[in-house]
Amino acid sequence: MKRHTLALVCLLGLLQPLTAEKQEKVETPVVTAQAEPSVVVLLKNKTLQLQNIKVGDKIQVLNILGVRVVEKKADSTIVDIQLNLTPGYYIVKVGSTVRKISLK
């Protein structure tokens, strides 16, 4: 008896008309954000070259203890800095970008 009742309920459920509300198409505009080019840090011999930086950005070179050993303002998008420092690891900060370098 339970099987017949269950089968009848399932059958009636399947026979019910399916209704769905009409959905409107909404077009979403595509926004592409152009990312700023990332800062490029190059070290050749004892010359530090920074590329893709903003004019006026503050450039800092810190030793591993966090002591500032070089500070300069960028006067162009490419800056060369001669590093007359002892060999070791240093931190380069340009604006909000931070990179680690190894001076040999």
Q: What residue segments make up the domains of the chain, in order of their start?
A: 36-104
CA distances for 72 relative to 15, 54, 65, angstroms: 79, 13, 19
User: Is the predicted pLDDT of residue 29 greater than 90, yes or no?
Assistant: no
36-104, which class in CATH?
A: mainly beta
Q: Is the pTM of this model over 0.75?
A: no
Q: Is residue 25 very low, low, confident or very high in pLDDT (cuts 50, 70, 90)?
A: confident
Nearest to 62 by CA among 52, 53, 72: 72
Q: Token digits for 19?
A: 């209704």
Percent of the chain with pLDDT over 70: 77
CA–CA gap between residue 60 and residue 68 (Å, rounded) = 7
